[in-house]
Amino acid sequence: MAGPELQLLIALVATFGLLVGIRRLLVLRRSRRVIETGLKAVDLFAPILRGGDILITGDEGAGSIVLGSELAYRLMNLPARHHHVLYYLDDASYDIDERVQELDEVLPALTHRYIVPVVTADHVQQHLSDVRRGSDTMIFAASMNTRFLEIFQESIRQVREDAPGAGSVTSFSVTDSIVPTTYDVTIQSSKVIAEAGIYPAIDPQRSASSASKHSSFRGKRLRVARSAGKAVTEVISSLYAGALNDATWIYNSDADRRPACQALCFMSQAYFVAEIYTGKTGAYIPVKQTVDSFETILSENMKGTAAKAFRYRNKLPTV
């Protein structure tokens, strides 16, 4: 081949490679965008990445299983974008009948629910074919068995490697036990917070998300998240049963420390899936409103207001 023709061929190959690289980068950026759930504590302290692996865990009795159901509901019904949800239950769970009944009650629109001894890649690929191609799919697996969840994660990884477009699959491992595996997002609940009547009982110190590196999580949102997390962690360290109703507790009696407790209380939010039990109506809170509210609390402009007045409020109480 002549010199000029060879140079042209090399240039074409290089251009094609560059275009492929750009396309992959754009797909990666799209697949890793942050999903806004409208749940204040999640969006602030452990934002969910599309196409990532999320662990929902925590102390026994801290509400991890219910939080998993709540996130499934929200993702199925987000105002801006609905997602398909597949939900796997471990048939070896001692309370499997109770779990099935609970899901039927709180997620009646969940048509893709499966009770299995193990989640295989074949299971996932078969069930993905039942939902619309090219759509975002959220796959949940709930179990107290670490091995069940490990196999689930292995299957998800295999599906992403083998199936075209599976990068939009986001996985959620739901458990009440700590699973020693690497996840993109860890949402960990604390029994101490739950016993204070704060749900979701998310512990900012033990929760984490690689979304903190995402462009949408920089600037004010990241700054407020860190400040609020530090303040709430400080309160948790001295929290005890009945503390929020104890006027002598330092986070109630000391006005300078009260904003940290206000931030803890403002984390609480009514669940859609619990409406039939609590009578409290769920709501989607825009991220901007969440960030602005926590920033206002931490500015100490409302420190004259009792901390418990911030519980289960979608908006800040009127001063």
Find the mean pLDDT for residues 102-109: 90
Instruction: Supply φ then ψ for residue 71, to 5 degrees.
Output: -65, -35
Q: How many residues does the chain have?
A: 319
pLDDT digits (tens, 9 = 90+) for 202-259: 999 999 998 877 666 678 999 999 999 999 999 999 999 899 999 999 999 999 999 9
Mean pLDDT check: name the lowest of 5-19, 154-168, 266-280. 5-19
- Please give the structure tokens belonging to residue 312: 């289960």
- Please give the structure tokens belonging to residue 173: 């491992």
Cis peptide before 164 (omega within 30 of 0): no
- Please give the structure tokens belonging to residue 243: 């503390």
Q: What per-residue confidence (pLDDT) applies to 82?
A: 80
pLDDT band at 277 (very low <50, low <70, confident <90, very high): confident
pLDDT band at 113 (very low <50, low <70, confident <90, very high): very high
Q: What per-residue confidence (pLDDT) applies to 219?
A: 86
Q: Nearest-CA neighbor of 92 among 57, 56, 141, 143?
A: 143
Find the mean pLDDT for residues 265-291: 93
The position carrying tokens 């009440």 is 176
Q: Nearest-CA neighbor of 169 among 140, 137, 143, 196?
A: 137
> Residue 26: CA atoms inside 13 Å, Cβ hemisphere, count?
6
Identify the CATH number of the domain defined by range 53-183.
3.40.50
pLDDT digits (tens, 9 = 90+) for 70-90: 999 999 998 877 889 999 999
- Let me know if domain 221-310 sits in CATH 1.10.1140.10: yes
Distance CA(312)–CA(285), nearest Å, equals 12
Q: Compute CA distances 1 → 5, 17, 94, 154, whole Å.
A: 7, 22, 72, 48
Distance CA(195)–CA(245), nearest Å, equals 13
Q: Who contacts 72 (Cβ-Cβ below 8 Å, separation ≥6)?
A: 85, 87, 107, 110, 138, 140, 172
Distance CA(298)–CA(229), nearest Å, equals 11
Query: Do residues 51 and 32 make contact, with C-beta atoms less than 8 angstroms apart?
Result: yes
The full set of domain ranges for the chain reads 53-183, 221-310
**What pTM was computed for the model?**
0.86
Q: Compute CA distances 43 → 39, 172, 193, whole Å.
A: 6, 16, 18
Q: What per-residue confidence (pLDDT) applies to 7?
A: 61
Contacts within 8 Å (CB) and 24+ apart, 214-217: 214/32, 214/33, 214/34, 214/47, 214/49, 216/33, 216/34, 217/34, 217/47
The position carrying tokens 């179990």 is 143
pLDDT digits (tens, 9 = 90+) for 287-303: 999 999 999 999 999 99
pLDDT digits (tens, 9 = 90+) for 11-60: 555 555 454 344 433 333 444 588 999 999 999 999 999 999 999 999 99
Q: What is the mean pLDDT of the chain?
A: 87
Q: What per-residue confidence (pLDDT) applies to 21?
A: 41
pLDDT digits (tens, 9 = 90+) for 170-212: 999 999 887 767 899 999 999 999 999 999 999 999 999 988 7
* Strand extents, DSSP E, 72-183: 84-90, 113-116, 137-142, 169-174
Q: Does this chain's domain 53-183 share its CATH topology with 221-310?
A: no
